[in-house]
C-alpha cells in the first residue's frame, strides 16, 4: 500500500487522472506515459498524395517552391543568374560605340560640311555664299531658310501665315489650276494657267487626280470645293483668301503664282520653312529673295508678343549642312 501511495503522490504531481481505485500497474503505466510523451507527427506534403491539377498538383507545388526560393534570394540581395539562358544574356559583349552624327553622313556631305565652321554665326551674305558651295547633291538643290520664332502657334493671333512674291522666283515650274466660271477661262489661260475648268475639274478631283501645285478659285465657286476639303487640305492645295488663291481677279492671282508668289506658315514647333530659290541662282539673286521674305516676316510680327520674335535663323541646301545666320528680323 505504501508503494501505491507513493505512485498516487507522483501521479498527482504530474496531474494525472488516476485514483486509488486504479491498480498499481495502471498507475505505473500512466506515469510512464507522462514521462515520455509521444511526439505527434506533423503531416507534410510528402505524406499526402499529389493531385492532378490545382494547388496540390506537382506543377503548382514546384512553382510555390521556386517562388519561395526567389523571395529568399531577393531578401539577401542575391542577383546571381539561376539559368543558363539568363547567364548567356548577362554575359554580353562590350557596349557598342555610337559614332557622331557627322561620321554617319555620306562622304559628299562630310566634304562640304568642312566649309561650315561649327558654332559660328554668319551674316546673311556670307551664309548664302557658303550655301551655294555646300550642295552635296548632283541636282540643282533648293536653298531653304528656317526661322525659329518665339510665338505660340496655338494662339490665333500668333499663328503666322502669309504670302510673299519672290522677285527672282523659286526656280520651280509651278502648275496653276483655275476653278472659275467659263467666262474666266480664256483670260486665265492667257495669264499662264495650266489647268482650267469648272465641272471638268470637279470630275478630276472626284477621281483624286491632282496635276497642279496651286489651285486658284473665285469666291462664288468655293462652296463647290467644300466636298473635297479632305483631299486638298492636307496637301496645302485648298484655296484660301490669306494665300491669295481665293480671288475675284483670276488673272492677277495666276500671274503672281507663276511669278513666284509663295505661301509660308509657322508649324507646330513654331518654325517657318521656305525655299527662296535654287543653288544655280547665285548668292546675289538669293539675297534679293531672302530680303523679300524677311521683310514679309517682319510685317507679320504679332502685337501681343511679349518675348523675342525670332529666336534663331539658319540656311541650308536641300541635303546640305545647316548654316547659322544672324537674325535679320528682330
DSSP string, 151-175: --TTSGGG--EEEEE-TT--SS---
Tell me the mean pLDDT in the region 100-121: 87
For residue 300, give the 3-state DSSP assignment. Answer: coil
Give the CATH number for residue 286: 3.30.190.20
Does residue 241 sit in the same domain as residue 228?
Answer: yes
Does residue 165 sit in the same domain as residue 211?
Answer: no
Does residue 194 sit in the same domain as residue 248?
Answer: yes
Q: Residue 152: give the domain boundaries.
A: 119-171+260-330
- pLDDT top residue among 326 and 47: 326
Is 15 a member of any domain? Answer: no
The number of folded domains in the chain is: 2
Model-level pTM? 0.62
Please say which residue of 203, 231, 259 terminates a domain.
259
Does residue 130 sit in the same domain as residue 252?
Answer: no
The sign of the CA dihedral 276, 282, 255, 224 is negative
pLDDT in tens, 156-204: 899 999 989 999 988 888 899 999 999 999 999 999 999 998 888 999 9
pLDDT in tens, 140-150: 999 999 999 99
Contacts of 321 (CB under 8 A, 6+ apart): 109, 112, 113, 116, 134
Contacts of 90 (CB under 8 A, 6+ apart): 81
Please say which residue of 259, 286, 320 terminates a domain.
259
Is 22 a member of any domain? Answer: no
Least confident of 14-18, 112-116, 165-169, 178-182: 14-18
**Paired strand residues for 273:** 146
- pLDDT top residue among 18 and 282: 282
CA–CA distance, 92 with 84 (Å, rounded to integer): 13
The per-residue pLDDT for 92 is 61
Q: State the DSSP H helix or E strand holding residue 74, giving kind and residue range, or none if neither.
A: helix 58-76
Using CA atoms of 72, 77, 82, 87 in order, give the dihedral in degrees to the nearest 10: 170
Does residue 139 sit in the same domain as residue 281?
Answer: yes
User: Is the CB of residue 112 less than 8 Å from the CB of residue 135?
Assistant: yes
pLDDT over threshold 70, residue 93 = no
Is 105 a member of any domain? Answer: no
Amino acid at each position: 500500500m505504501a508503494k501505491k501511495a507513493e505512485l498516487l503522490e507522483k501521479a498527482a504531481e504530474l496531474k494525472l487522472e488516476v485514483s486509488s481505485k486504479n491498480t498499481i500497474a495502471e498507475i505505473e503505466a500512466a506515469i510512464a506515459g507522462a514521462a515520455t510523451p509521444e511526439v505527434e507527427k506533423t503531416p507534410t506534403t510528402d505524406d499526402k498524395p499529389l493531385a492532378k491539377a490545382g494547388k496540390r498538383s506537382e506543377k503548382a507545388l514546384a512553382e510555390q517552391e521556386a517562388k519561395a526560393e526567389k523571395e529568399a534570394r531577393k531578401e539577401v540581395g542575391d542577383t546571381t543568374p539561376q539559368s543558363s539562358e539568363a547567364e548567356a544574356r548577362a554575359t554580353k559583349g562590350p557596349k557598342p560605340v555610337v559614332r557622331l552624327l557627322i561620321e554617319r553622313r555620306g562622304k559628299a556631305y562630310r566634304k562640304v560640311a568642312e566649309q561650315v565652321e561649327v558654332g559660328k554665326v554668319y551674316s546673311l551674305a556670307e551664309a548664302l555664299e557658303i550655301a551655294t558651295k555646300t550642295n552635296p547633291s548632283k541636282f540643282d538643290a533648293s536653298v531653304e531658310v528656317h526661322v525659329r520664332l518665339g510665338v505660340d502657334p496655338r494662339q490665333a493671333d500668333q499663328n503666322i501665315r502669309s504670302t510673299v512674291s519672290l522677285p527672282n522666283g523659286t526656280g520651280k515650274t509651278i502648275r496653276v489650276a483655275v476653278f472659275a466660271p467659263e467666262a474666266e477661262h480664256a483670260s486665265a489661260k492667257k495669264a499662264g494657267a495650266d489647268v482650267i475648268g469648272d465641272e471638268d475639274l470637279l470630275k478630276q478631283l472626284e477621281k483624286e487626280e491632282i496635276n497642279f501645285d496651286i489651285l486658284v478659285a473665285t469666291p462664288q465657286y468655293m462652296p463647290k470645293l467644300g466636298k473635297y476639303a479632305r483631299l486638298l487640305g492636307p496637301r496645302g492645295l485648298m484655296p484660301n483668301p490669306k494665300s491669295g488663291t481665293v480671288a475675284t481677279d483670276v488673272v492677277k492671282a495666276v500671274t503672281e503664282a507663276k511669278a513666284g508668289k509663295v505661301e509660308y506658315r509657322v508649324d507646330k514647333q513654331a518654325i517657318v520653312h521656305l525655299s527662296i530659290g535654287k543653288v544655280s541662282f547665285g548668292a546675289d539673286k538669293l539675297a534679293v529673295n531672302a530680303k523679300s521674305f524677311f521683310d514679309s516676316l517682319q510685317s507679320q510680327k504679332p502685337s501681343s508678343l511679349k518675348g523675342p520674335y525670332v529666336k534663331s535663323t539658319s540656311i541650308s541646301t536641300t541635303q546640305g549642312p545647316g548654316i547659322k545666320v544672324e537674325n535679320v528680323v528682330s
